[in-house]
Chains A and B, each alone.
Chain A
Amino acid sequence: MAQVFYPSANTIARVTLMSLPIAIIVIVIAVRTASESDYVTGVNFAVDQPVEFSHEHHVAGLGIDCRYCHTSVEDSPFAGIPPTETCMTCHSQIWSDAPMLQPVRTSWETGQPLRWNRVHDLPDFAFFDHSIHIARGVGCVTCHGRVDQMPLMWKSQTLFMQWCLDCHRDPYPHIRPREAVFDMNWTPADNPEAQVALQAAHANIRTEGLTNCSACHR
C-alpha cells in the first residue's frame, strides 16, 4: 500500500493549525467592519422618496426655518412631517405645474397622504423625544448633519446605541445654547461669554439619569 501522508503533510498541518486563529480574527474583523459600514447602516445613502425634496434648496437657498414644516419638534416626541397643505402653501403658486411636484398635487386633490420613506428610523424598543433634546440644547445638526447641504435626505449618523451613549455619558461637547439649536452654521465661539453660556446650558442638564437603561428603554 502506498504511503497515505507524504512528509509535506507535516507542514500543511502546522500551517493550517496556525492560520486557524488568524482566520477567525480576520472573519471577526470583516464582519464587524461590514456591520458598521455605511452600506449596512445607511449612513450617507440618500433614501428614495416619492418627491425629490431638497432640504438644501429650502433651508440654505430660501432660508426657511426647520420649524416651518417640522412644527411639533419643540413640544412633542415627534418632529412632525408636514402635511400636503404645508407644501401647497407655496406650491399652489410657485412651480404649480412642475412635473416633479405632481405627486404633491395629486395628494392635495385626492386627500391621499404622500408616503415619504423614513430616513431616521429608531428601533421600536428605543424611546426618543425630540422636545427634550431641543430644550436642553442639542442642535438639529448634531444628529441630522448639515441638512442645509443635502439635496436629498440621508442619515449622517449611525443612530447606534453606542453613538447615543457617547453623548449621554458626556453631553457637554455636544450641546449649544438654546437659541442656537436651529442654527445650521453654529460653532462654539472661542470667547469667555460663549463659554459661560455653554456652562449655563450644561447646568440645565441632569446628567445622573442619562445612562440609566430606563432613560431610553421604557
Chain B
Amino acid sequence: MSPRTCARLILALVTLIAAGCRDMYEQPKGDPLESSSLFDNGMLARPLVEGVVPRGALRDHSPYYTGRDQNQLVVQAPVPVTHDLLKRGQERYNIFCAPCHNQNGDGQGMIVLRGFKMPPSFHDERMRAVPDGHIFDVITHGFGTMYPYAQRVPVADRWAIVAYIRALQLSQHATLDDVPPQVRQELIQRQNESVPPADSPLPSQFPPVEEVRDE
C-alpha cells in the first residue's frame, strides 16, 4: 500500500467517524421557531395569509368570539358561569392580568409599581357598570397602553377571566347578607376566632355563581 492510499484510507475513516457522530442530531427538518434562510424575515414558521380561516375555526360574528351582539357589547358573558370556570379564570387572571391589575384588581400590580401607567381599579363605579363584553373586548384588542392579549389568551380563557373579574368586583362590595347561609356561619365563626382567611379567595363551598350574579 502506497503512503498515498494509506492517507486516503485514514481520511475516509476519520470522515466516516465524524459523520456518524453528529449528523442525526441536526436533521434537515425544521424545529418550531427555528430560523431559515428561505424567507426574508429569517423565520421558518409562516404566518397565515391574511383572511385565511382554518377549516373548522370560523370566527363568525357570534357574541362568543366578538363579545358583541349586533354591534352592541354583550351585557352578560355568553358562557355558563360555573365554579370550574371561575377557578380557571382565577388562574389565568393571576398569570396574565395580575402583573398590572394586581391580584385583587385595584390596579396596583407589580409592573405598575415599577412605573407602568396605572389602569383603573376594577372596583370603581365605572368599571363595575361596564358590560361583560367590554372586558372581553379590552382583553382581545387592548386599551390605551394595554396591548392586545388575543394571541396569548384563547377565547374560552378570556370569558373565564371576565367571570373572575366580576367575582373580584363582587368580593370588594359584598355584605354578609350576600353570603349563602352555610358559608356565613363559617365566616362569623372565623371572625370571632380571628382566624386568618384561607389562601384562596374562593372558599371550597363557593355558591353557584348564577345566584350571585342576580343580585
Contacts and interface: CB of A to CB of B under 8 A. Distances in A.
Task: Please classify the interface of chain A as helix (H, G, I), strand (E, B), loop, or mixed, using the class held by over half of its residues.
Answer: loop
A86 interface: yes
A42 B73 CA distance: 53
A71 interface: yes
A99 interface: no
Contact of A125 (B27, B33, B95, B151): B27
Interface in B36-69: 41-43
Interface stretch (B113-121, B130-138, B206-214): B113-121
A130 to B, nearest CB: 11
Contact of A89 (B29, B35, B43, B147): B147
Interface residues of A, number: 26
B73 to A, nearest CB: 24
B116 A90 contact: yes
Given A111-B41, A112-B41, A113-B43, A93 B25 contact: no
A62 B99 contact: yes
B90 to A, nearest CB: 12
B27 A68 contact: no
Task: Please classify the interface of chain B as helix (H, G, I), strand (E, B), loop, or mixed, using the class held by over half of its residues.
Answer: loop
A77 B32 CA distance: 9
A20 B151 CA distance: 64
A67 B145 contact: no
Given A63-B110, A94-B114, A88 B147 contact: yes
A124 B110 contact: no
A207 interface: no
Contact of B24 (A62, A65, A89, A123): A123
Given A78-B33, A92-B145, A71 B152 contact: yes
Contacts of B145: 92-93
Contacts of B96: 68
Contact of B25 (A83, A86, A92, A123): A123
Contacts of A86: 152
A14 interface: no
Contact of B99 (A68, A83, A112): A68
A64 interface: yes
A7 B77 CA distance: 100
B42 A93 contact: no
The 10 closest A-B pairs by CB, nearest first: A124-B27, A123-B25, A78-B32, A65-B95, A89-B147, A67-B95, A93-B116, A62-B110, A71-B152, A94-B115
Given A71-B152, A94-B111, 13 more contacts: A68-B99, A85-B151, A90-B116, A92-B147, A93-B115, A93-B145, A113-B42, A115-B42, A123-B25, A123-B26, A124-B24, A125-B25, A125-B27
Interface of B: 24-27, 29, 31-33, 35, 41-43, 94-96, 99, 110-111, 114-117, 145, 147, 151-152
